[in-house]
Structure 1
Amino acid sequence: MAMPIRSAMTSVSRMRTFRVPNHTSREGHITGDKEQPMKRHFAKVLFSIATVAAALGTAQAADEKPIRVGVALSQSGNLADSAKHYYQGVELWRDEVNARGGLLGRKVELVVYDDRSDPATAARLYEKLISDDNVDLLFGPWGSASAATAAAVANKHKRVFLNSGGASEQIQERGFKYVFQTAAPISAYVASIGPLADQHGLKSIAFFGRDYAAARDMAKGIKKIAEDRKLDLKTSEFFPAGTTDFSSMIAQARQMQPDIWVSVGYPNEAIEMVRQMKASNYLPKVFIHNGASIEDFLKSAGKDAEYVFAMSLYEPSLKTKGNPEFVKAYTDRYKTEPGYYSAFSYAGATVLEEAVKKAGSVDQDKLRDTLTTLELDTVMGHHKVDPNTGKQIGVTGLLAQVRDGKREIVMPLDVKTTDAVIPMPAWNKR
């Protein structure tokens, strides 16, 4: 259901009507011929004043209305945990921009619906946000599947759509003119795996991904890395959403012995994989999972999280523009450091804010033209899109490793905070 929205108060100007009295001169009464034109003249003046006042009142009322930003995201279903962090990023931005006086001098309000982690529901809700709620701006949902369906709806209506939660590159390959990716594409997640393999002499790789669009894109990226780096790709497989038993994959990996195990999905899956690896006393030289880049993984996996590698696009330690302030504000409010889910939405909202300021309005075509060439630095890094596709081409990926309960950046080398420990120490040698 929608979160409550405050009604904007519209002021209505009331005008008094003045009667023009009949005047008599010493020479006699004003004749009817002179009186009638005077009455008509005053009537015209009053009508003009009323028209101008009404126009000013309407403009003032429009200026007083909040700018409403519509977003559907998963408050229930299997994406609810990760979508919670995504929402917190945009929620924090809303409060900060309002504390600064709003956007274009108007307060910002969020119109939020629950897409129930279902792409079809997401599409219907964005149709509602556009056609029924008539929101001013659209912010994309969390997850590539829902982002893909929602983006199609927005583009059909020629409404600018900030794709801040969909990493699948397929979203930006459909010829949409109003869809702009502020999230990093899936290719950025795996960019550091090849250099890591080169540096540490790793020779083989296996991929196990949750079956969704972003994982399909990642599998292609892993295949290309294997081909380019002459790595032996042992297997590339997908498991359905809701999978909790990873024992068959662990047994397969034990037999194939890949140096690198790469998985993509969500933190709960990363947690279960690590628990089941420990229970079966198995560990590859390198275990990489994007879900390990979220605080939930560290809290739930505890000491077993040590030495796990996280595909990440953001870390609190990054020296990007505004990041120290973001980390402090987020931590003060939510009592945990932000992960990349929160940084995705916060950075996307920052891009949206800058685009509206540069366009000087919420006119969709003006915003589209602005976003096509807009470049700026955010907490994620440098925002830049391909002007032909709207695909994010500025943000780069990171690899982090859990050390002493915290993620430390190990790749790229120019931003590393520590050296990678490879192979990961066996369970019985920790």
Structure 2
Amino acid sequence: MSIHAAAHIPGPGVRRRRPWIALLLAAAGSVAMASELAPLPEPLQLADALALASPELPALRLAAAERDASAASLTEAQSLTGFQVSAEGRLQVIEPSSLALNRDRNDSSARVALRKRLYDFGYSEALEEAARLAGDGSEWRELSARQSARLEIMRSFFDVVLADLQFARDNEAMAGAFIDADRARDRHELQRISDVALLELEAAYQQALRLRMETQSMQRLARSRLAIAMGRPGELVATVVPPAPPDLSRPVPEFELLLEDVLANNPLRKALKADVESARAELSAARNSFGPVVSGEVEAAAYERKTNSTHPFTAALVLEVPLFSGGADDAAVAAARARLQGSQARLAMHDNKLREQVLETWLQLDNLRVTLKGLGVRGEYRELYLDRSRALYELEVKTDLGDAMTEISALRLDEARAQFDWQMAQARIKALAGRLLMEER
């Protein structure tokens, strides 16, 4: 009869935790974080939306989880060359050999063993380097995720402002269409206009009313999207403050300079470069994964039954040389080589995408500058036209005051859309160069 028990002491940084305890701790932390968030001010400014966003956004939690997983992989790789201690207790009863001098049947024993890998011809070093580089990549991806979250909040905030301006435009148009239809009814009763003319104005009013209702729904939807982007679903703001117009006097750098800056500092590109180097280190590790290993072992033991072969203390230098792996070594090298080629291809694809994004954004800024200047001229014209329409209205002369006011609302919407596109383009350039969140550097 034999009873065997062994205990292994994990390497540094390795902790075991019951899954349900971890879930409870994570849930409690999320609830505590949510309760600590300051209430949203009314009206809400863009700076407030960025500052009061929840740090527990799902995308950020996912990036943090990947970073922690990379850190755990590094700890696991480092533990390969760490000390390993095991304890073994054996309760054993034997039938002694007829030649044995010691006839005791109790052959129980206890052992404590210490083992350390001393040299493995570069395998553990390459494995640790691969894990470290993968961790670097996860940190750059976390920065990229934070920048993406900031851009999403900005875009969602601007969409709320645009939804309000669009509602103002459609509300003006609906009011004008209602007045035209109401006057047409009076003229129709006096038989001054035909049925066709009346129905035409009634249809125009119904169309304007439908557009107004749609934009009113868009106001609610835009606010919901902003709340979700901030990680505060259900907290819909009533009023937002439009940001100040952008400064168009600042020159936009040349395309070649922008591209050079982005290719040198883009966080996701740095992550992909780290992936390439990590895959290259994995390939080196795979080539040595079935190589010789030199280890040191020390063991202390206690025996109930002492013989010539039972020793209380042993120390050994062990050399392990694999002779045949059944093709596993070739398969490991082939898989690692494929991962390296895949990571290199992803980096090349991302470089092409960056070139396209930088050029597209640079051209957009150039076009937006012209658009905003044109809107400024159009605004001067519309203001003068509105003043003339008001003057004619006060003189009780037939005028298109309602249409003029609608055009002013439409102009404000177009100006805001172009200004927000400019600000988003500038923010995207900063994000591509990894400078949207300077505090994260």
More strand by share: 1
Bin of the TM-score, shorter chain as denominator length: under 0.3
Structure number with greater Rg is: 2
